Amino acid sequence: SDTQKVIAIDGPSASGKGTVAARVAAALGFDYLDSGALYRLTALYAQKQHVEWTDAAGVAALAENLPVRFDGGAVLLDGEDVSADIRSEAIGMGASAVAQLPEVRAALLQRQRDFLTDKGLVADGRDIGSVIFPQAQLKIFLTASARVRAERRAKQIGLPCEGVAFDRILADIEARDEADRRRAVAPLQQLPDAELLDTTDLGIEETVKKVLDWYHKV
Ligand code: CDP
Ligand code: CDP
């Protein structure tokens, strides 16, 4: 068939993609793919192997053979639990850097498609609806204002929503979004066939419900 049991959720940093995608997947009995984790793992692995994030051939070779295992909620790299390490904003920046390299994106393409089985899949990232699963049954562009997204990130790591540290989080988020939007290969974009879901004033439950409502209509 030319459509697949796939829900693609793309959008900027801290818009709630992971949280919403995991809940939608659980509600439907689908698998969940956090594609950003693969870019984060690639950046961390390169750092550990002393390969520069700008070394396209070197990083792509690592991405091709990522020794990663998803074990329940934990992410293991070379047997080491790196679940917390990959969530730092420094590794987020590294992920955004290696994600600009076409060689790296190509190396991670099939690995992402392999997550789809007869069960169905909810996948989140930047290019799920455009490149990885262009035949997805439902595409969502999940967003929120930069300030609200920075507040969510701050709360997540236990920081106040004002002050120098907060300003830094906001600036980092805006810089990474800008890089993801402007890059030549697989940029972050709102596709014409994607539903726009702005969660600036929307809670997690309402957002999940909205996605499920759309899915049940298609
Ligand atoms: O995956 P992504 O970076 O897009 O975002 P996330 O990690 O799922 O969400 C970032 C934080 O925002 C989490 O702590 C969520 O619980 C929170 N969130 C929220 O408060 N309200 C929403 N509507 C969506 C997410
Ligand atoms: O959690 P957050 O939304 O901040 O980031 P993420 O989804 O874990 O992605 C980290 C970085 O990986 C992004 O800033 C993108 O540069 C890159 N990425 C990508 O290029 N394509 C994807 N499908 C997923 C992530």
Residue 14 labelled as part of a binding site: yes
Ligand number with the minimum distance to the CA of 186:
2
The model's pLDDT over 30-83, given as tens digits with 9 standing for 90+, comes to 999 999 999 999 999 999 999 999 999 999 999 999 999 988 889 999 999 999
The model's pLDDT over 107-121, given as tens digits with 9 standing for 90+, comes to 999 999 999 999 999
Q: Quote the pTM value.
A: 0.97
| pLDDT confidence band for 182 (50 / 70 / 90) | very high
Ligand 1 atom having least distance to the Cα of 152: 12
Q: Give me ligand 1 centre to Cα 199, in Å.
A: 10
Ligand 1 atom having least distance to the Cα of 13: 3
Query: Best substitution site from 13, 19, 89 to test ligand 1's pocket, by max atoms within 8 Å of Cβ?
Result: 19
Residue (of 211, 185, 217, 175) closest to 30 by Cα position = 211
Residue 17 labelled as part of a binding site: yes
Q: Write the ipTM.
A: 0.98
Ligand 2 atom having least distance to the Cα of 17: 3
Mean pLDDT taken over the chain: 96
User: How is residue 207 written in tokens?
Assistant: 């957002």
Can you list the pairs that 55-61 forms with residues at least 24 positions away whose Cβ atoms lie under 8 Å? Answer: 56/101, 56/102, 56/103, 56/104, 57/103, 59/98, 59/101, 59/103, 59/104, 60/101, 60/103, 60/104, 60/106, 60/107, 61/107
The model's pLDDT over 122-141, given as tens digits with 9 standing for 90+, comes to 999 999 999 999 999 999 99
The residues lining ligand 1, judged by C-beta closer than 6 Å to any ligand atom, are 13-19, 152, 156, 199, 202-204, 207
